[in-house]
Structure 1
Amino acid sequence: MRGLLLAAVMLGTVSAAHAADMPDLPILRGGFTDGLSKSSVNWDGFYIGGQFGFATADMDFSHAPKSMTDFMLRDSVLQAPVGGWSLLPKNHVQTTGFGAFVGRNWQVYDAVLGVEANYSYMNNFGSTASDSMRRLIPGETAPTNHAYTYDTTLGGGASLQLKDYATFRGRIGWSGGDFMPYAFGGLAIGRADVSRFATVSYLKYDDFTDPITGVTTRSTIGSDTMTQSERRVNSFIYGWTAGIGVEYALLDCVILRGEWEHVGFSNAKNISVNLNNFRVGAGYKF
């Protein structure tokens, strides 16, 4: 028994001495867990980058001549009906473009808030439409047994080319490690070349019904042709933007992104433009 006790004491002393000589490993102190966790990216700071995109747009020319016909036919019986005609079609156009962006992020825990200025140059992003239509329009009140009618023809055309646009937007995102999905919204300003023309012509008829025979005869008692055109180069149009995207931190200072952006512009000479831009880009984070 005394021999066993002496052996146990000697083994304990050797084990303690060996443990004291072992290196101080982090795993023994519970500090190795950081190495097992997912790496986190600091999205805070300024960034700058470039982008390439594919854009589609609906350009609605249907009421492009309206303000011109309203002016030419002002205070006449023809102004309201002719101004309501949808003369021209809505065209769908597609193009590619490229641009640049610069912004600033602030990270609060996993939330990322930011502001960004974004510029896009568009390649031949435009469309043209022209057409004519003819209608009979009842005229003003006529004397007894008479009826006035206007045989009216409206012709016109319009063209719009969106050269480029810039957006100023706020962003909110969520830091998911190397990925950050985000949403944004803000203001847009574009630069476009716009042209249009309108021609209104009419023949004014007087339909007289003989009260005795009941026979109606038609005579032309007036006619006119009016034309107006205008062209604006580098006209500024304003609107709003909204969309979603995702960024990936390839390196601590290199980010990749993909996003969808919708822009709705206010009417330019009664032409409305709404576009969707699908983009990919790369940037450098300071």
Structure 2
Amino acid sequence: MRHSYLALSLLSAANLLPALAYADSSRDWSGAYLGGSLGAAEGKGETSTRASVGGPSDYFTTTDPQQVRDAGDGSVAQWHASGGLFGGYGVQQGNLYWGVEASLNSLSFDESRRETVQYLSAPADSFTLEQSVEADWQGTLRARLGLAQDKWLAYLTAGLAVTRLKLGSQFSDTFLDDARGQGSSEETKTGWVVGAGGEYALSEHLSLRGEYLYADYGSVDTSYDVTNPGNPGLSSNIRDKVDFKTQTLTLGLAYRF
């Protein structure tokens, strides 16, 4: 009976050896991988506005453009849950790791701001400026450079980012027959992205990761004329612009082939 217990003990130990060997061995992070991520993303748009004045055909008087500018200079910001997919390929030599990765994440950014201001040139009347910014998704193509130690990988990342950005603007006032004007612009914007992250190998093929990314997409602008039926023949131009940036925090699970 004692020999049977010994045999069973040796068999159990033999079954544990592969797991123990993996736990004690260094992870090779080389190869291709795919994964998914969940987290949160913040979009932030810095808005700025310019209005024309200077001629007899301008609707705005000398004090109006500065008021319109002050009303339009501001920001919109919004955090949302974000989900995405990523994939890439990397090479490890010694402790040094480098590779390339592509990702696609949801943004669901849709934020607006509204300012109503009393005219200095006509104190009995006021104007309202509304601005809206939208971006539904963002994609990246990045290089990754990191250091690997056992089952850990820490890395820095940088590359290109792309999103579809929409800016809308609308002006109205209460003077005479009420002035109106509106415009919008939608563009696919390419910017830059930087970030950092870390991964932990759960098994030979699976790893858990955390990552932070910051992206800058530059600006989108729109231009339109403001007219008032009560002042036929007079018009002024408004130009609105938004500079858009994002930051993303995610946890992901990757499968290495």
| TM-score past 0.5 threshold | yes
Report if aligned partners of 2:205, 2:255 keep a CA contact under 8 Å in 1. Answer: yes
Partner AA of 2:164 in structure 1: R
Task: Identify the match of residue 190 of structure 2 among 215, 225, 238.
Answer: 238
What is the alpha-carbon distance in structure 2 between the residues aligned to residue 108 and residue 86 of structure 1?
56
Q: How far apart, CA to CA, are the structure 1 residues paired with 2:44 and 2:80?
A: 12
CA contact (8 A) 1:88 1:130 kept: no
Structure 1 residue 99, shift from structure 2 partner: 0.8
Q: Supply the AA of the counterpart residue of 2:133.
A: L
Matched, 1:261 2:213: yes
Among 171, 181, 190, which residue is 2:163 paired with? 190
Shift of 1:285: 1.1
- Deviations along 1:164-186, one digit per CA (max 9) or x if unpaired, are 01011111010111010111111
Cα–Cα, structure 1 residues 109 and 227, in superposed 2: closer, same or farther, change >3 Å? same
For the pair 1:228 / 2:181, whether they are aligned, the reply is: yes
Work out the number of aligned pairs and report it. 211
Q: How does 1:130-149 map to 2 (within 5 A)?
A: 130-134=114-118, 136=120
1:81–1:191 Cα change, 3 Å: same
Q: Secondary structure at the match of 1:251?
A: coil
Unmatched segments (≥5 aa) in structure 2: 1-20, 222-240
- Larger C-alpha radius of gyration, 1 or 2? 1
Q: For residue 103 of structure 1, what is the aligned residue in structure 2? A: 88
For the Cα contact (< 8 Å) 1:88–1:131, is it kept in 2? no
C-alpha RMSD over aligned residues: 2.9
Q: Relative to 1, partners in 2 of residues 1:191 and 1:74: Cα closer, same or farther, differing over 3 Å?
A: farther
Alpha-carbon shift at residue 224 of structure 1 (Å): 9.7
- For 2:174 and 2:119, the matched residues in 1 are separated by 11
The 8 Å contact of residues 263 and 275 in structure 1, kept in 2 or not, is answered as yes
2 CA distance for matches of 1:106 and 1:186? 18
| Cα distance change on mapping 1:80 and 1:131 into 2, 3 Å | closer
Deviations 1:48-84 (A, max 9, x none): 11111112233323x1x43xx34xx476674864564
Letter in 2 for 1:254: L
In the other structure, the counterpart of 1:43 is 29
Aligned to 1:157: 130
Question: Which consecutive residues of structure 1, in runs of 5 or more, have no partner in the other structure?
Answer: 1-34, 137-149, 203-222
Q: Which residue of 2 aligns with 1:274?
A: 245
126-135 or 161-170, which deviates more: 126-135
- 1:97 Cα deviation after fit: 1.3
Q: Percent sequence identity over matched residues?
A: 21
Distance 1:39 1:190 in 2: 41
SS at match of 1:41: coil
Equivalent position to 2:39, from 53, 65, 82:
53
State the TM-score, normalized to the length of structure 1.
0.64
CA contact (8 A) 1:187 1:239 kept: yes
Cα distance in structure 1, aligned partners of 2:73 and 2:127: 11
Cα distance in 2 between the residues matched to 1:170 and 1:224: 57
Q: Distance in 2 between matches of 1:74 and 1:48?
A: 59
- 1:176 and 1:278, CA in 2 relative to 1: closer, same or farther beyond 3 A? same
Partners of 1:232 and 1:201 in 2: CA distance: 26
